[in-house]
Structure formats: structure tokens, C-alpha cells
Structure 1
Amino acid sequence: MPNLESTLTIPQLLAAAAVRYDQAPAIEDDGTRLSYHQLDRLRCQAARALLALEVGHGERVAIWAPNIHEWIIAAIALQSVGAVLVPLNTRMKGAEAGYILRESGASLLFVIGEFLGSDYPALLAGEHLPALRRRVCLRGTAEGCLEWEAFLALGEAVAPAQLARREAQVDGDSLCDLLFTSGTTGKPKGVMSAHGQNLRIVRDWSAMVGLRPGDRYLIVNPFFHSFGYKAGWLAALMGGCCILPQQVFDVPAMLERIAQEKVSVLPGPPT
């Protein structure tokens, strides 16, 4: 098992963190508490489920959901099988999300059932998505979507050795994610990043801000953005921190969480 300093891929990072931090808290999310060991186990289970769905190396897999722990599990699971993460902004309308799904060629979509009064799967009704084969609801239910627990159960049919063989095909130069620009002056464009590239940047950022094992990291920056994803939960896992996802920027709720949950890290953009 590689140590944290020698990891070349994001799944290797979590596997090494699970050995180093074991039963230390990795995520606390709305009553769900996962240790590093439990998080890595769920990552492997979800990765095996993706193999059961025949997700191939290099395939694009999108996530359209707010900051929840299932987002992180799905992301590292798809990266474990060599797929490429395509995050979708939760403020997008159906046509905007449909454009990115088509441009990326996403074959699978992880989606929230409902968020802020919107039925997210229904927003894609009428969108032409020829590459999209399957949809999975991270939370809630929707017509045409596989529920999260049913998705995880698919992994039971796939041997751990099959996942190990696929993981061995992923290295530091493998494409890791495809984040689309905001599209302020034109159509959004996909920006490609590799596993090793991400890990090097996150190591430097974490050292500069002084993340430490045991820090309790409240992440309100959205996971679909590099701030909430790379400087957020990825940096937290690298540093042995506990991730506290926050779905909506609500100042009174956040101040209450800071006090009650002993938050020690809360980054944000400059005013």
C-alpha cells in the first residue's frame, strides 16, 4: 500500500489515508458519520458497481448534486475505474446541463432527486443525450433513475480482484476530471486535469494554508467547483481532516455549525 506522500492517483490517496487515519472521522454529513476506513470501503463498493454497469476506462461520468457525502464517494469511485469526473453546476437549467452532458459525452449521470424545490432529473426531459446510458439518484428517487443503495448493491457481483486490475491501469498521467468553464463570454469549455497534476497542486495549497490531521473543515464552496472539490474535500482527505459538507450558503446556519461542530477550517473567496 503506497503512503500518502507517494500516491499518484486520487483513489490511491484515499486508500493510503484509510490506512493512516483508519477510524478517524472523514465525513460528518446530516447524521451520517464515516471514518476513513468506511469511506474507502464505500469507494470500493461504488467502484465495483460502476464495473457492473460496464463503465470503461476514460468514459465521462457526470455528477449533478449539492455538497453531500455521496458526491465524494461517487467521484472517487469513478476515478478508481479510470473514468473522468464531469461536475455540473447545481444552478444550471436543464438546457445548460444538457449542453455539458453532450459536449463531454457523459455515459452516466449521478444526480440529486430534488434540491431547492427543483426536480433535477425532470429538468433534463426533452434533452437529446445520445451518449447517456444510465442515471443514478444519489438521494431521493426519480423515474428512470437507479437508487443509490440499489446501485451500491450491484458491486456485490464484481470481485475485488477485478477492481484491482482496473485500478492498476490508472496512473498519475490519467485524465481525472473535466471541469467546464462558466461560459461568460461564450459556450463553456471543458478543462482537462490529470490525477498527479491535481495531487501536486492540492499538496502545495494544503501546506500553504496549514491543513492538519483532525481539522474540522466546513465546506460550503460547491463541490462542482475546483474550490469545493480540489481545495475542499480532496485537500481535506489528503490532510486527514474531517469534511463537514454545507449545501447552501446560509450565514446563521453556518455560524451555528461553527460553534456546535467545532469547525477549525472555513476558507472563502476574498470580499
Structure 2
Amino acid sequence: MDVPDWGTIPRMLRDQARNHPSDIVVADGEVRLSLAELRTHAGSVARGLIALGVEAGDRVAIWGLNDLQWVLAAFGAWDAGAVVVPLSSRYKGIEAAGLLRRTGAAVLVTGEGPDGTVFTDLLAETAGGPVGDRPFAGLPALRHAVVPEGRERPGALPLSRLLAAGSRISRAEAEDRALAVRPGDLCEIMSTSGTTGTPKGVMLEHGQVLRGYWDWAEIVTLGPGDRYPVIAPFAHGFGLNAGLLACVLRRATMLPIRRFSPDLLTELIRKQRITVLAGPPTLFHRMLDEVDTAGHELRVAICGAAAVPAELVRRSLERLGLERMINAYGLMEGTVVSMTRAGDPVEVIASSTGRPVPGVAVRIVDDDGREVPAGERGEILVGGYGVMRGYWDEPAMTAEVLRDGWLHTGDVGVLDSGGNLAIVDRKKELFIANGFNVSPAEVEGLLLREGSLAQAAVVGVADERLGEAGWAFVVPLPGAAADPEKIIAWARDNMSNYKVPRRVIVVDELPVNANGKVDRAVLRERAAR
């Protein structure tokens, strides 16, 4: 089906709530939330944000685990005409403060971490304490921080005060704000790993996100009655758009997963009776080998990876009797690019990410920009409605990847004669640890803040548990002693866990190539030895 003529997320929510008010779209523990209730609660959050001075186009950052409050904060921000800036729940203070500063977020809505920590507490050391009427001295654009009820902090508002402030705003005023949002307005600034050391903010618009994930959900056959655990973090494009948003688009029930553990798989399969599951190949290997799936209700599996073992596809289809197993390719800058389809043979699902979705074009080009024949390797270029507007406040970086109407992805792929796209390599230095893109330059920049290092170079190394893991080769400052264990401990305290180097190796100097740049190929060879 063609995407309904909603244009914006607020209009989509209103239409769904009006026509299907009792459909349950969120199941978080014992709480069940219908479309009508979601609209009502989102409206209350929006009125609170408007009362705090949030204007159309302001950035509202959300920092928490996947839960009901994250859902309400997102839809409330969209209703207020704001742009959602997700912060990874794995962030430490340095990382969060950097993103808040770069995007100029006006309001930060936080939840609790898995250990009960309030996320705002992680900011105090990096961004300073409250000053005047602002929550953090070092974040001049941030006017308000909202914390969970009962977890009051100096300079921060509990959620109840946000909602109480909203009573000063009439429902008519809030409704006007929601209906004033246009399809071309920004709805998200998604953080993506940066090759320069600074994560970039990908700007996405209401219209393109609605179309991209309506089409994604159409191919997945996600719909009413489905129970879909959203394991990917809401701060990630897959968790937010192919999870939270897709469920409301298609009136499926999302089960926000705060923190995934292998033991949870049995609960999801046996007790929660899930019907749709998305994750990496390791998730499905574990399910087949360790979970009693007798009597399961799972019908669709989305297994996103450059290559999926053919035997895993066969076992999943035959043993579980799935209707579909899907592989797909997308990237923050290009939304959904390609997906396998119903009827594709096992070999296509295992070896490719399928064909471009409607409205998206793919080209494979050589280093001179010339299109290569089917079956030959080249850089993947993406065109069509799903390509981002650009990187937030980074015109030079935007111009570097958006050229001649095409997104230059930096990924290397092959198109076969049937139009199926296989991802075979990455031109960028990024590596993938436990499903997360990691930028060596970003990790290096963070490591240099530890205090004992003059230089650092990070490379991705094959790892049985994580897929790839970072190894850091470091040069100490003159007269300083670099202790690998202390450096790793500092990294655990100051950066997301998937960025923490698995090993730190102290060297006298880093190898360089003819251009004077660090020769990462030499470091990868050394790590392999």
C-alpha cells in the first residue's frame, strides 16, 4: 500500500488515534497504552515543553533506556514541533555533553540507567553544575533538564513539574502547534560515528521518515496484532524508526526492551508470544540453539548483516516455520536502502541485502565515479527520497558525501544481475562492535583526554564475541608512563562500552605511510599476529 497522506508524525498519530483508538501500541511491563492514550499523553508532554519555551524547530534531547517514557517524550517533542535528538544510553558525560553542545539542545529529558543512575548525573563533572536558571554551566543553550519523578536534582525539573507547567497552555494552542508541522520540517537529528573524530548529526525530515518506514513495515508485513520487541536502542535509527515509529505507523504492539540479555529470549518467545524479531545473526543462533521454541508464534525475522550464514536462514525457515526471514541494508544518512523480498531463495537472503526499496536508487561506481558492470565491486551511491538533508551544522562534510544528487556511502558493494545488493567492504575506517558503528578517530580523541598519551591509533580487529573490537596502539607523553589497564579502566568510565578498546598496546611510535598518516593496515597486520 502507498503511504497514507499524513506528511508528518503528529498528523499520523492523530489519524491513527481517531480511526483505531483502542489498538494497543505499547506494552511496557504491566502497562498497556492504546493509540488514543498515546495521543493524549504525548499532547500533555507537548504542552509542558511549549510552557518551557520550546519553539518549533528547537532541539529536544532524550537520554534513557527503551521504555514508555522515551516513547511519550518523542511523540510529545514531535507534537511541539521540536526536533528529537536521541542520546545513547551507553553514553558517558563527555559524549553526551558534546552532542548536546553541537546540536544546541534546548531541553534534555532523561530517564534512569540500568543501575538506577539518573543520566543527568553523568553530566555534572563534564558540564558543571547549575548556574542561574540553567541546569549546567557548560551547556549555555540547554535551558531545562527533566528527570524522572522522585529523582529531583539541583537545576532539574521532575516530570510532574513539566506536566504541571503544561496546564498553562491551552489544548487549542498545542493542537495548532502540532498541525503546523510540515513534511519538510526536521523530525530527528541522529548521531552517527564520524571519521573525523566528532560524531555527525544526520538531519531527517518528517515526510521521508514516514515514507521510509511505512515501506519498510510493508515489506516486513508488520501490522495489527503483531508483538514486536524493540531490542535496538531508541537512540539508534533502527530502534527509533524501524521500532518505535513503525509500530505506531502499522498499529503493532511494541515491547520496549530496556536492556537485552540472553535469558530474555525465552521470556519473549515463551511468555510474551512475540511475532516479529529483529537482530544480528548471533541472536538467531542463540534462539535456535538455546531456547525451547515449541509452540512459538514468531512469524517474521529481520536479520540485518552484510552476510547471513545460509544455514542459519535454512534452519530458521524450516525449524521455526517462519513466513519470512529478511535481510536489509540501510544507513542513517540514507534511511532504508534495500531489502530482501517474499519468495527470495535462501541464497539471496544469505548473500545479499535484497533490492532497493521503492523510490530509492542504487549505483555502484569505481574510484573515478564511473558505474561498474553487474558483479563488480565499487562504492555504493544512494539516491531518492530517503537521503538526508545533510549533517547538522557541517556544510563541508555534507558537501563531501552529497554530490551530484547522490549520497556517497563509503560502503563497497556489488549488484548482481537481479539487482540484489551485497555489501562486501567499507571504504571508511569505521568498524562494527556488537552491532554499533565505531569511529576510530572518535575513540582516539577520547583516549587523548586520559592524560598520559601523546598519540593513539585505533583499529578494528576480528573478535569472536563482538564481531569486531577496537585495539588501541598508544604512544605515551614524554616522561609519562602509559598503563594499559588504567587506560582501559578510564575508557570504561568515560565512553560507551562498545567504544572501549579491548586491548591497549604501548609503542614508541606509530607507523606512517608516504603521506605521513598513520598506517592502519600495518597496525591491523600487527594485531593479527
* Counterpart contact for 2:89–2:113, Cα < 8 Å: no
Partner of 1:130: 140
1:83 positional shift: 0.8
Q: Report the alpha carbon displacement of residue 20 of structure 1 after superposing the two structures with TM.
A: 2.3
Q: Which protein shows a greater Rg?
A: 2
Q: CA RMSD in A?
A: 1.6
**What 5-or-longer segments of structure 1 have no aligned partner?**
none
Cα–Cα, structure 1 residues 139 and 88, in superposed 2: closer, same or farther, change >3 Å?
farther
* CA distance 1:96–1:60, change in 2 (3 Å): same
**Larger displacement relative to structure 2 (21-30 or 226-235):** 21-30
Q: Distance in 2 between matches of 1:145 and 1:255?
A: 39
1:196 matched residue in structure 2 = 207
Superposed CA deviations along residues 205-246 of structure 1, whole A, max 9, x for unmatched, are: 001111011111111110000110000010011111111111
Matched, 1:84 2:83: yes
Distance 2:161 2:177 in 1: 22
Unpaired runs of at least 5, structure 2: 128-137, 283-529
- Counterpart for residue 112 of structure 1: 111
Quote the Cα distance in structure 1 between the aligned partners of 2:75 and 2:116: 28
The more displaced of 111-120 and 184-193 is 111-120
- Residues 1:156 and 2:167 aligned together: yes
Partner of 2:340: none
Equivalent-residue separation in structure 2 for 1:26 and 1:139 (angstroms): 24
Identity, % of aligned pairs? 40
- Verify the 8 A CA contact 1:93 1:123 in the aligned structure 2: yes
Residue 185 of structure 1 deviates from its aligned partner by 5.2
**Partner Cα distance (1:258, 1:270) in 2:** 17
**2:266 counterpart (241, 255, 260):** 255
**Distance in 2 of aligned mates of 1:99 and 1:192:** 17
- Give, as a single letter, the amino acid of the residue that structure 2 aligns with 1:94: G
CA distance in 1, matches of 2:69, 2:265: 21
Q: Are 1:113 and 1:142, in contact at CA under 8 Å, matched by a contact in 2?
A: no
**Contact 1:112 1:140 (C-alpha < 8 Å) held by counterparts:** no
Q: Verify the 8 A CA contact 1:102 1:129 in the aligned structure 2.
A: yes
Alignment map for 1:208-223 (pairs within 5 Å): 208-223=219-234
Letter paired with 1:152: L
Distance of 2:44 and 2:280 partners within structure 1: 35
SS at match of 1:82: coil
Question: In the aligned structure 2, how far is the partner of 1:112 from the partner of 1:123?
Answer: 12
Give yes or no for the alignment of 1:240 onto 2:251: yes
Q: 1:112/1:15 Cα in 2 relative to 1: closer, same or farther (>3 Å)?
A: same
1:2-61 Cα deviation digits (max 9, x unpaired): xx7111111111111112221121111122111111111001111111111110111111
1:230 aligns with 2:241: yes
Q: Say whether the 8 Å CA contact 1:134–1:145 is kept in structure 2.
A: yes
Q: Relative to 1, partners in 2 of residues 1:70 and 1:119: Cα closer, same or farther, differing over 3 Å?
A: closer
Match of 2:47 in 1: 48
- 1:149-188 mapped onto 2 (5 Å cutoff): 149-183=160-194, 186-188=197-199
- Displaced runs of 4 or more, over 4 A: none
- Give the paired residue count: 268
Q: 1:148 to 1:117 in 2, by over 3 A?
A: closer
**Mean CA deviation greater in 225-234 or 27-36:** 27-36
- The alpha-carbon distance between structure 1 residues 100 and 163, as it changes in their structure 2 partners (threshold 3 A), is same
- Which residue type is aligned with residue 93 of structure 1? K
Instruction: Go from structure 1 to structure 2 and tell me whether the alpha carbon gap of 1:35 and 1:251 turns closer, same or farther (over 3 Å shift).
Output: same
Which protein has the bigger strand share?
2
Aligned residue type for 1:33: R
Partner of 1:96: 95
Please, what TM-score do these two structures have when normalized by structure 1? 0.94
